[in-house]
Amino acid sequence: MIPYFPPPVFHIGALEVHAFGVAACLAILAGHSLALRRARTLGLDERSMSWIYAGGAVAAAVAGHLWAIAGTAAHTGPFEIWSGQSAAGFTAGALLTILFILWRFGPLRWRYLDALAFAFPFAWTLVRTGCFLAHDHIGAPTASTLGVRFPDGTRFDLGLLEALMALMASLGVVLFLPRLKLPGQMSGFLLLLAGTARLFIAAVSESSSAFTTGFGGVVLTLLGVAILASRQRTTDAGSGRRRRGAGDAVGRRIRFEYR
């Protein structure tokens, strides 16, 4: 079992910085950097990618905060995003961003989403490591070696479990990158991983939001499967057309960029 440790706090002059803050800061910066890097590889507009990332991060953070204060009746302003976050709300904000991308970026929409999907698990790992360091999500009692000896008994730390799963998702994204060549496949794959992870978290959670977590997990998983299936079908149809010599320019460009 993991011994309990108090949430680390650092002092930079007069500034008090919490481990969670450091992890969240690194997650935002790392996610941005990786998304831009991936966009560059895919030949996408880095300026658009940067705006998508910034807008998506703000939308997810605000939605996550609104969801959190709606659930706890906390007396904080709607934009005080640092004073309470909900993963369910964050997911809702992210889904809104996905819808915006799908609506706004035409034939290139899946590639922008894939760039975000590539960056997400790394940022996810860092953020959840921050949650673990803050012991924010206390799970069910356990005798597992992954349990944390909290002051009131040994329980799962859901932040740690999700950080480990996000780390595995990051490795999965890297390992499967050569195989996920079709537009949208990376997005579908990431949603599948994220949904599965959330389902697992719901299973070991005692929180009042366990149902929401599980429901969100199901939605993400189904969405991932649906995207993977639809992308496969689209490509099969495109291949058929190409066999008939009727390939479209966008299709060719995508195939080129994914080589």
Partner 1 sequence: MKPAIASRLAVLLLAALALIFGTGCLDTPDPAVSHYILKCEGGTLQLYLVSVSKVPGATAQPVNNPINGQDCSVSTELQGRPLTLSEAVEHNLVQGGFNQPSTRRAASNSPFSLIDTFVNLVPLPLGPPVTITSPGCNATTKAYLVNHTNGTVTAVGTCPLSILKVIPVGSNPLQVAITPDGSTALVTRYDNDVVWIDTNTDQVTFTLPTGGVYPSGIAISPDGTRAYVTNYFNTNPSLLVIDVVNRAILTTVPLGGAYPRSATITPDGSQVWVNYYNGTGVDIVDTLTLTVAAGIRFNAIVSTGMAFNPTGTKAFIATSPNLLAVVDTKTLNTLATITVGSEPMDVAVTADGALLFVTSYNSNIISLVDAIGNRLVQNLPTDAGAMGLTLIPAGLH
Q: Contact residues for partner 1 (CB under 8 A)? A: 4, 6-7, 15, 17-18, 20-29, 32, 36, 45-47, 49-51, 53-54, 57-58, 61, 68, 72, 74, 81-87, 130-131, 134-143, 150-155, 206-210
Strand partners, 18: 9
CB nearer to partner 1: pick between 20 and 258? 20
CB nearer to partner 1: pick between 208 and 244? 208
**Residue 216 Cβ, how far from partner 1 at the closest point, in Å?**
15
Question: CB–CB of 98/92 below 8 Å?
Answer: no
3-state DSSP call for residue 214? helix
**Residue 88 Cβ, how far from partner 1 at the closest point, in Å?**
12
CB nearer to partner 1: pick between 43 and 240? 43
3-state DSSP call for residue 154? strand
CB nearer to partner 1: pick between 73 and 175? 73
Return the structure tokens found at 216.
Answer: 């969100």
CB nearer to partner 1: pick between 242 and 257? 257
CB nearer to partner 1: pick between 69 and 98? 69
CA distance 227 to 96: 16
The pair phi, psi for residue 130, each rounded to 5°, is -65, -40
**Residue 225 Cβ, how far from partner 1 at the closest point, in Å?**
28
**Residue 199 Cβ, how far from partner 1 at the closest point, in Å?**
16
CA distance 257 to 259: 6
**Residue 19 Cβ, how far from partner 1 at the closest point, in Å?**
9
Task: Indicate the burial class of 139 (C-beta count within 10 angstroms; 0-12, 13-18, 19 or more).
Answer: buried
Question: CB–CB of 227/191 below 8 Å?
Answer: yes
CB nearer to partner 1: pick between 130 and 224? 130
Cα 53 to its chain centre, rounded Å, is: 12
**Residue 238 Cβ, how far from partner 1 at the closest point, in Å?**
28
The alpha carbons of the chain give a radius of gyration, in whole angstroms, of 20
**Residue 209 Cβ, how far from partner 1 at the closest point, in Å?**
8
Element (H, E) at 148: strand 147-150
Cβ-based neighbour number of residue 151 at 10 Å:
7
Q: Which residue, chain included where needed, has tokens 């915006």?
A: 100
